[in-house]
Amino acid sequence: MTREMGVRSMGAQTPTGVADYFWAEAYERRRLESLLLDLFRRWGYSDVVTPTFEYAETLSERGSRKLQSELCRFLDRDGSMLALRADMTIPVARLVGTRLHDAPLPQRYCYSGSVFRDVELRAGQQREFWQVGVELMGSAAPEADAEVLALTAEALRAAGIPHFRLVVGQMQFFEGLLQALQLDHDARARLTAAIDRNSQPALEAFLRETRLPRRQQRALAELPCLGGEQIDEILHRAEKLALNKTMQAAVANLYAICEVLAAQGVLDSVTLDLSEIHNLGYYTGITFEALAPGVGFRIASGGRYDNLVGTFGAAIPAVGVGLGLERLLLARRKGAAPPPPRPLAPDLIVSTSNRSDAFTFVAQARSVGLVVAIDLEHRRGPALCAYAELMGAQAAIDWGDGRPTLWRLDAAQPTSFQLALDDVPHVLAGLVEARNIATAPIQREAMP
């Protein structure tokens, strides 16, 4: 292959870690995005749109080391270092901290957009992926945390994922434990890595190598056991293990949140895990992730970040969640691969012969929610039927001789009926009914 041919071949492909979406797959993504945004709006959240890229320091100075290492950076024309957004929370926090801090609190925002991370590719993780989510800013109350958790549960159910768990942790419980242990930098890093990786051998090695008072050793050894669905029992054990006021406050916070979730009927979906310390670099209170059967990674994650907005302006407490659109779709399919791409089938193909009454009918059909495609080649009879079947339509109308002919394509052989103007409402009603029955083929009895 010549160098020129190699360049052409590369130019015809997408880079690793990004993807094209089209036909039914793209439609499915847009529908889910729209459904979730509509849900968020009904809960009082207003839309927010932020730039796709920011100054690199805006993101890197507020994210974890891991997030910093995953930024997709590039130079601006003036030499400034820019970066594609790696999450949606930091840009929204920047907006609120610099421009909206005088607005009444709390403020509720919802968003949808692509984010970018330079990561090693694996199942459910691309370098460009789509997030939908919410940010609730201006309330430190447990009710705010509970609202975001309850909304996450409602969003998962709306997305067609009835079985899931919300795994909830509390960063301050672990932070209080670190305060009590008073470790040096290296020991603190080793312990944090062991807990973050959920590595029992690494934790046991740390306990063997580090001399600690018995009460501190017990609290650290039992930390991985503070997880499960027995909420009251876990919180009671955590309360007894608390070594200082920071840990006690974390437990009290979880008690208060769970009380609200119980009143909202959401607590049955919650699992506690006080060893969960997943942190993007700005979480200060609860953290949580959503897990679903058949998917080996989180499909949503969020938490409280009371200090982030204050790095841009006035201090404002906040909590939020981001849901990965691709991961939601994978969870809805229970981990199965998507079906082969296929075009969306119209409900009806119409050959109008450029007649005004035909276009009036088409407008009526679209106004009641039908998907109607016009045959631009003015096919007639069998040729129109063959084209409609190729497109996946269940019916076709031929307006060629001035009086419309309806072709039904749901039988072994197409059948046709001459239509009078009085028949039009019945035709539309039949098509709508057929479409509402889970996109089933048009029923014979629904047609005139």
Tens of pLDDT, residues 178-218:
999 999 999 998 998 899 888 899 999 999 999 899 999 99
pLDDT interval class at 39 (50, 70, 90): very high
Is 283 among the annotated ligand-binding positions?
Answer: yes
Q: Are 111 and 133 in contact (CB under 8 A)?
A: yes
Q: Are 166 and 299 in contact (CB under 8 A)?
A: no
305-325: average pLDDT: 96
Is 87 among the annotated ligand-binding positions?
Answer: yes
28-45: average pLDDT: 97
pLDDT interval class at 442 (50, 70, 90): very low
Tens of pLDDT, residues 84-98:
999 999 999 999 999
SS3 380: coil
What percentage of the chain carries pLDDT values higher than 90? 68
78-103 burial, b for 16+ CB within 10 Å, e for fewer? eeeebbbbbbbbbbbbbbbbeebbee
Q: What integer pLDDT is reported at residue 258 of this predicted model?
A: 98
Query: Is residue 447's pLDDT more than 70?
Result: no
Please report, for the chain, the start and end positions of each structural domain, with discontinuous segments joined by +: 17-161+292-343, 165-277, 348-434
Q: What integer pLDDT is reported at residue 124 of this predicted model?
A: 57
Residue 135 phi, psi dihedral angles, 5° rounding:
-130, 130
Q: What integer pLDDT is reported at residue 379 of this predicted model?
A: 94
pLDDT interval class at 123 (50, 70, 90): low
Q: What integer pLDDT is reported at residue 417 of this predicted model?
A: 83
Is 184 among the annotated ligand-binding positions?
Answer: no
pLDDT interval class at 402 (50, 70, 90): confident
Query: Is residue 6's pLDDT more than 70?
Result: no
pTM comes to 0.88
Q: What integer pLDDT is reported at residue 374 of this predicted model?
A: 97
- The residue among 260, 259, 261, 279 whose CA lies nearest residue 270 is 261
Strand partners, 374: 350
10 vs 297, more confident: 297
**Matching CATH number, 348-434, of 3.40.50.800, 3.40.50.10860, 3.60.10.10, 3.10.20.310:** 3.40.50.800
Is 117 among the annotated ligand-binding positions?
Answer: yes
Q: What integer pLDDT is reported at residue 438 of this predicted model?
A: 35
Q: Are 132 and 36 in contact (CB under 8 A)?
A: yes
Q: What integer pLDDT is reported at residue 125 of this predicted model?
A: 72
Domains 17-161+292-343 and 165-277 alike in fold? yes
Q: What integer pLDDT is reported at residue 260 of this predicted model?
A: 98
Query: Is residue 444's pLDDT more than 70?
Result: no
CATH architecture of residue range(s) 165-277: 2-Layer Sandwich (3.30)
What percentage of the chain carries pLDDT values higher than 70? 94
Query: Is residue 441's pLDDT more than 50?
Result: no
Q: Are 244 and 179 in contact (CB under 8 A)?
A: yes
Is 135 among the annotated ligand-binding positions?
Answer: yes
Q: What integer pLDDT is reported at residue 57 of this predicted model?
A: 94
Query: Is residue 133's pLDDT more than 90?
Result: yes
- Beta-strand (E) ranges in 260-325? 270-273, 286-291, 300-304, 318-324
Domain spanning 17-161+292-343: CATH superfamily: Bira Bifunctional Protein; Domain 2 (3.30.930.10)
- Collect all residues with Cβ–Cβ distance below 8 Å to 443 and sequence separation of at least 6: 410, 430, 433, 434, 437
Q: What integer pLDDT is reported at residue 112 of this predicted model?
A: 97
Q: Are 66 and 86 in contact (CB under 8 A)?
A: no
Q: Are 351 and 378 in contact (CB under 8 A)?
A: yes
Q: Lay out the sheet containing 107-116: strands in order across.
A: 46-47, 107-116, 128-137, 318-324, 300-304, 286-291, 165-170, 270-273, 227-228
Q: How many CB atoms lie within 10 A of CB 116?
A: 21
Query: Is residue 177's pLDDT more than 80?
Result: yes
Q: Are 131 and 87 in contact (CB under 8 A)?
A: yes
Query: Is residue 437's pLDDT more than 50?
Result: yes
Q: Are 37 and 110 in contact (CB under 8 A)?
A: yes
Query: Is residue 102's pLDDT more than 50?
Result: yes
Tens of pLDDT, residues 409-422:
876 777 888 887 77
Query: Is residue 10's pLDDT more than 70?
Result: no
256-262: average pLDDT: 98
Q: Please return the burial class of 31, using the count of CB atoms within 10 Å of its CB with bins 0-12, 13-18 and 19+.
A: exposed
Please state, rounded to an integer, the average pLDDT across all residues of the chain. Answer: 89
Tens of pLDDT, residues 335-391:
777 888 888 899 999 999 999 989 999 999 999 989 999 999 999 999 999 999 999
Strand partners, 132: 112, 323
Is 229 among the annotated ligand-binding positions?
Answer: no
